[in-house]
């Protein structure tokens, strides 16, 4: 019953736009049987990507987030969860979850069919289908003629044939934050990492069930679906070439042939990690590392200092096609990267920093972008660092 309550909370409207609070709730409920793992230091490292050496006295992100989580939980149990038979709370002064039975006088019968978890799956799928329908509508020649000359347009021109659009595995990203299991592509493609992770929660039936359940779900990021939808709507003449894949349904063979657009960093899409070794700008949890910074560049681009993203154009694993990598360290970062790729003036900006003429195809390159955001919506993305390969 406790596991069902947690799943309904995660799927509720109150938590739909609170990704970090969902991850915090998942972590503390999955470790409820091991209070020693629920210290402020451990939560900061495993949920918020802080280094092992960080000092909670100087960084109150865990305490602040716990306060927000308590507020969200009260909101849920006062509204959508008003009929829940159990109430979940995080008592002040600690991070161990506490379940309590709702007083009988205030507890009408629970619904016979509980709300299905992860309602955002349906939302993202609906957005993708609507975008695809719009893109494949043959009765819009005026829009075909109005396709803008952006970085996306240039990539489509110089990458003939089918293009696989590989969406992130958001379930994996959440699982990585509350487990020591960090699957490589071999383990990700099998059930091995699922079984290894489940063993960490021996004796905790709720955590083990959530772990196995999430490992099977095809959850993706709304930011990534937004990029896909705008790409299909903006370039309907190429829509039939684009094959949509979830990361769970990709193999190494797929990355050896043809052209691909891969969203997410290694934490949410292990396939992206196959190309990291040759790149200067690499992801490390909630930051981008600049391996060899120039005097005018930063050594790291962190979540606390802005909405950052990396875009890279590389060869596929056999060198026979092109792979466009798109990843942000936040929802707004990914959204900003998509906005930049679709903006008409972005192509001239990329040509300028890479020092190539308008007649030349785009060479392999990588960019770091900074995006501004208001109320969760990114805009005004600009290049802050680049490399040409």
Judge whether 242 lies within some domain. Answer: yes
Together in a domain, 249 and 359: yes
Q: Report pLDDT for 191.
A: 66
Together in a domain, 6 and 144: no
Together in a domain, 379 and 280: yes
Together in a domain, 293 and 149: yes
Structure tokens that stand for 30 in this block: 């999955």
Together in a domain, 136 and 71: no
Together in a domain, 140 and 52: no
Together in a domain, 139 and 263: yes
Judge whether 192 lies within some domain. Answer: no
Q: Report pLDDT for 316.
A: 95
Together in a domain, 99 and 128: no
Residues 297-333 have pLDDT tens digits of 999 999 888 899 999 999 999 999 999 999 999 889 9
Q: How many whole angstroms from its chain centre is CA 338?
A: 13
Judge whether 135 lies within some domain. Answer: yes
The CATH number linked to 94 is 1.10.10
| Rounded CA separation 184/267 (Å) | 10
Judge whether 181 lies within some domain. Answer: no
Together in a domain, 162 and 81: no
Residues in the chain with pLDDT < 50?
105-145
Q: Report pLDDT for 224.
A: 92
Judge whether 203 lies within some domain. Answer: no
Residues 68-124 have pLDDT tens digits of 999 989 988 889 888 888 898 998 888 988 888 877 544 444 443 334 444 444 444
- Domain range for 137: 120-169+218-388
The CATH number linked to 333 is 3.30.379.10
CB 190 within 8 A of CB 19: no
Strand segments (E) across 267-321: 281-283, 287-290, 300-302, 307-315
Together in a domain, 241 and 311: yes
Together in a domain, 288 and 342: yes
Together in a domain, 301 and 331: yes
Q: What DSSP element (H or E) covers 153?
A: helix 151-158
What is the domain count for the chain? 2
Give alpha helix (H) positions in 189-248. Answer: 192-199, 205-216, 222-234
């Amino acid at each position: 019953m406790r596991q069902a309550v947690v799943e309904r909370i995660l799927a509720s409207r109150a938590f739909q736009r609170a990704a970090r609070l969902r991850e915090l709730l998942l972590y503390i409920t999955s470790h409820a049987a091991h209070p020693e793992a629920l210290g402020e230091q451990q939560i900061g490292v495993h949920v918020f990507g802080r280094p092992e050496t960080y000092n909670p006295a100087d960084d109150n992100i865990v305490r602040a987030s716990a306060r927000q989580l308590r507020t969200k939980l009260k909101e849920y149990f006062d509204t959508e969860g008003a009929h829940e038979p159990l109430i979940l709370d995080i008592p002040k002064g600690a991070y161990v979850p506490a379940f309590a039975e709702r007083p009988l006088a205030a507890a009408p019968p629970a619904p016979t069919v509980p709300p299905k978890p992860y309602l955002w799956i349906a939302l993202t799928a609906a957005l993708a289908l609507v975008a695809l329908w719009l893109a494949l509508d043959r009765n819009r020649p005026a829009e075909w003629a109005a396709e803008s000359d952006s970085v996306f347009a240039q990539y489509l021109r110089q990458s003939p044939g089918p293009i696989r659009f590989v969406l992130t595995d958001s379930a994996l990203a959440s699982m990585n934050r509350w487990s020591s299991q960090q699957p490589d592509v071999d383990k990700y493609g099998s059930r091995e990492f699922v079984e290894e992770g489940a063993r960490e929660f021996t004796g905790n039936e709720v955590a083990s069930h959530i772990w196995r359940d999430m490992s099977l779900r095809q959850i993706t990021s709304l930011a990534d679906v937004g990029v896909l939808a705008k790409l299909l709507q903006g370039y309907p003449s190429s829509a039939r070439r684009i094959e949509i894949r979830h990361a769970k349904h990709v193999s190494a063979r797929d990355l050896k042939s043809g052209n691909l657009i891969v969203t997410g960093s290694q934490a949410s899409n292990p396939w992206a990690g196959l190309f990291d070794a040759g790149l200067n700008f690499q992801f490390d949890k909630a930051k981008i590392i600049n391996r060899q910074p120039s005097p005018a560049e930063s050594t790291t681009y962190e979540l606390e200092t802005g909405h950052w993203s990396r875009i890279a154009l590389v060869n596929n694993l056999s060198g026979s096609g092109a792979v466009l990598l798109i990843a942000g360290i936040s929802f707004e970062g990914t959204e900003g990267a998509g906005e930049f790729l679709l903006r008409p003036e972005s192509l001239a900006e990329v040509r300028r920093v890479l020092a190539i003429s308008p007649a030349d195809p785009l060479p392999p390159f990588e960019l770091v972008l900074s995006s501004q955001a208001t109320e969760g919506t990114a805009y005004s993305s600009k290049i802050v660092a680049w490399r040409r390969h």
